[in-house]
Amino acid sequence: MMRPIHFLIALLTISIFEVLPSRVYSSTPEEPQKHAVFSVYSIGWLHEQDLWYEASKGDYRIVQFRRLNRSRNYDYRGSSTLVFHTKSFDDKGNAIYTPVSKCTLPEQGQQFLLLFTRSTDENPAADRTQILVSDDSPEGMPFDSIRFLNATPWQLEGTFAGNEIELAPGLSECFSVDPNPEIPVPIGLGIRINGQIEPMLMNHWTFYPGNRVLMLLLPPDRKHSKRIRAISLVQHKQEIPPPKAEHKETQMRSNQAQPLGLTQDLESGQRM
């Protein structure tokens, strides 16, 4: 027979183990919520159909891509992993949201440009879309600057504004520019073959004060072409809204590199 004192200790022990898990669970802090504003652009018109995202818990909203410029701004509150879905319906007409791609938003920052491009991962189970996250705030991408997105599979080398430059695939750092419309800035890029640079882009670009430029460098249109394509997303500081949702912004101008070996006509250079 259990003595009274032993029975009391056993009862207290059982009570502690019954109460402790609920206290630990209830005191676990919730995952921090990320508040961000983002716009999207699909490189090479990868997404012809609209996508959906969960703007807040249970609130799915459509994301619409534009062929010639970035989208409007979208507001987001949730975890740092932003997931995009396609939308379909079951036999009863209920909406079904199927995840198709995702990205991780940096802990710091609130304004982002999400660039959708084809994934280089050969794993069949991997997402076919890769989303590159670019800091879209004036602090992350200052005015009177340019950032390159090398969307080719090659390491590009050459000169920009008289300085040597190397661009690995992906997003580059920001480069400051002298926004003097009277003095176009020369650029020449190529790939190194047997120790020599084979030119793939040669041009002159004109920059105007108060702009910032994201320059997309894309593979050639034709199979045996040796010319990469350049598309610029240009914003003036007066066009950038405060960080709130669904504000139309920016215009994009496209530019195709001139044929190699031709004398560059300053009037045909890109104006930014």
> Which of 81, 116, 137 finishes a domain?
137
d(CA 116, CA 130): 6
- Any idea which of 7-16, 123-132, 152-161, 199-208 has the lowest mean pLDDT? 7-16
Q: Residue 238: how many CB atoms within 10 A of its CB?
A: 7
Lowest mean pLDDT, pick from 154-158, 187-191, 204-208, 247-251: 247-251
Are both 209 and 130 inside the same structural domain? Answer: no
Q: How far, in Å, CA of 84 to CA of 260, rounded?
A: 40
Is the Cβ–Cβ distance between 69 and 233 less than 8 Å?
Answer: yes
**Residue 126: domain span:** 31-137
At residue 113, what are phi and psi to the nearest 5 degrees? -110, 125
Say if CB 118 and CB 129 are below 8 A apart. Answer: yes
Q: What is the pLDDT of residue 68?
A: 76
**pTM for the whole structure:** 0.71
- Do the domain assignments include residue 25? no
Section 245-256 average pLDDT: 41
Examine the domain organization and report whether 150 and 253 are in the same domain.
yes
Rounded CA separation 159/188 (Å): 5
- 19 in a domain, yes or no? no
Q: Does residue 155 sit in the same domain as residue 230?
A: yes
Domain ends where: 89, 115, 137? 137
Q: Which two tokens stand for residue 144?
A: 């009177």
For residue 138, the tally of other CB atoms under 10 A from its CB is 13
Q: Could you tell me if 157 and 261 lie in one domain? A: yes
Report the pLDDT value the prediction gives residue 127, as an integer from 0 to 100: 66
> What integer pLDDT is reported at residue 28 of this predicted model?
39
Q: Residues 80-92: pLDDT tens digits?
A: 999 999 999 999 9
**Per-chain mean pLDDT for the chain:** 79
Query: End of a domain among 137, 155, 179?
Result: 137
